[in-house]
Amino acid sequence: MDLSELTAIDVHTHAEVSSRGHTSLAPDLDAAAGAYFKVEGRTRKPTLQEMAAYYRERKMAAVVFTVDAESATGTPPVPNEEVAEAAAAHPDVFIPFASIDPFRGRAGVRQARRLVEEYGVKGFKFHPSIQGFFPDDRALVYGLYEVIEETGCVALFHTGQTGIGAGVPGGGGIRLKYSNPMHVDDVAADFPHLKIILAHPSFPWQDEALAVATHKPGVHIDLSGWSPKYFPPQLVHYANTLLKDKVLFGSDFPVLTPDRWLADFERLAIKDEVRPKILKENAARLLGLG
C-alpha cells in the first residue's frame, strides 16, 4: 500500500455479501437500514471484488469487515476468512478487520488469535446493539480484548443510534442501550494499551464519546454513518481542536458512499491543516501504515 498515492483512508466499510451468496443481515433488518439511510434500489450489494475496484478507482484505502452477530440474529456473517483473503488479493486498497460474536466464548478467543496470526487481520469490529452485549462485560468479552491488545490490533465499536432495525416493530429486538460509548470507557481503562475507535457520531451520547476520547489516549472517533452536514457542532469543534489527531474519516459504505461523505465534508468548517489528518494521516498512524 503506497500511502503517498492515497487520497484518503476510509476506516469503516462493510462486506455485506459472501461469494457463497448469503448476506450478513436478515431481509427485514436490511430493508430497514436501506430506508433509514435513504438508499434506493439496494437489490444488489457490491461484492468484495467490486468494493476493491471502487476504492482503487478513487485512490482510497478501506478498512473492511463483516459483523458476526449470529447468536443474536440467527444470521451467519460473511466469513472473516473471506474478507481477509480478499484483502490479501487487493493489498493496495483493503485493510482487513474481523468480527467475533462475543457469545462464542473461548472458541471466539481462539478464532481471533488465529485470524491475526494466519490471516493478518488488523482489527476487530464490535456492534454491541446488534450483538446484544455491553462492551464492559468482563466475563463475556474481556478475553477477546486481551488478544486484541496483545497483538496490537484495533477494537472498533459501533456507538449511538443504529439504522439496523429502525422502523421495524420493536426495533427488530435491537437495544440501543448497549452502544452508549461510556461502556467503552471501562474497556479503555482496563486495557490502557488497546487501540480503540468509537464509530459514528454517537447520537444521543455525543458528549460522552468526546469525553472518553479526550480522557483516554487510546480512544479515537470515526465519522462514519452520517453525512458531515449533520454533524453536531461540538463534534466539529473537538475535531478541529482537542481531538484533531484522533478523528478519522469513515463512510459506512455501501449504505453511505465516500463520494457523498466527501462532498459534504468539503463544506464543513474544518481547518485546512486538520483536513489531511482526518482524511488519511490519523488513520495511517493508528493502523501502523507508515
Per-residue pLDDT at 21: 60
Closest alpha carbon to 275 in 285, 265, 284, 283 = 265
pLDDT score, position 35 = 60
Strand order in the sheet with 94-98: 8-14, 60-65, 94-98, 123-126, 154-158, 195-199, 219-222, 247-248
Kindly indicate the confidence band of residue 163, based on its pLDDT and cuts at 50, 70 and 90: confident
Band of pLDDT at residue 194, cut at 50, 70 and 90 = very high
pTM (2 d.p.):
0.92
Beta bridge partner(s), residue 64: 13, 96
Question: Under CATH, which number does the domain 3-286 receive?
Answer: 3.20.20.140
Q: What is the mean pLDDT of residues 14-38?
A: 67
Query: Tens digit of pLDDT for each residue in 90-129?
Result: 999 999 999 999 999 999 999 999 999 999 999 999 999 9
Among the listed residues 67, 79, 81, the one whose alpha carbon sits nearest the alpha carbon of residue 22: 79
Angstrom CA distances, 104 to 53, 73, 119, 241, stand at 33, 14, 19, 40
Which residue intervals of the chain are DSSP H helices? 27-36, 48-57, 70-73, 80-89, 105-119, 128-131, 138-150, 182-190, 206-215, 233-240, 258-265, 275-276, 282-286
For the chain, state the CA radius of gyration.
Answer: 17
* Residue 18 pLDDT: 87
Specify the DSSP class assigned to residue 17: B
pLDDT digits (tens, 9 = 90+) for 225-250: 999 999 999 999 999 999 999 999 99
Do the beta carbons of residue 93 and residue 61 sit within 8 Å?
yes
Q: How confident is the model at residue 34 (pLDDT cuts 50, 70, 90)?
A: low
